[in-house]
Amino acid sequence: MKILNIVILFFCVLSINAQTVIKTESGEWKATYYGNHYKKPRLMANGEVFNVKAMTCAAPKKFAFGTKLKITNLANNKSVIVTVTDRGGFGNHVIDLTYYAFKRISEHKHGRIKVKVQIIK
């Protein structure tokens, strides 16, 4: 009975913190941004209209739409939490952030950055 109470308490504590990291993706990832060049409204893979100011990203199919990811720039340790709304991972980068999300973690106006990716509950 004590073990059951401890397990229940553990899950209650987890549910209180809505942004609990549940998995860190291993390896070195590269991220860039996209979308500033779109003049007309564009639909993302999940059916929503693209918004360059949204905190969203395009990611490989291993991440379901709606998954929250914590993206940390390895050069300066700045992080941003984004929602997967589109598919991406083209060339030698894996995560495509909106420009708004990208500029929060990088001072670069162009290019790719090395990041750590964590799935958020």
Please give the sequence-ordered ranges of beta strands (E in DSSP) within the chain, or none if there are none. Answer: 21-24, 29-34, 56-59, 68-73, 79-87, 95-98, 113-120
- pLDDT (tens digit per residue) in 48-61: 998 888 999 998 88
Among 14-23, 33-42, 75-84, the minimum mean pLDDT is found in 14-23
Q: What is the pLDDT of residue 56?
A: 92
Most confident of 2-11, 39-48, 95-104: 95-104
> What is the band of 35 on the pLDDT scale with cuts at 50, 70, 90?
low
Question: What pTM value is reported for the model?
Answer: 0.74
In eight-state DSSP terms, residue 49 is B
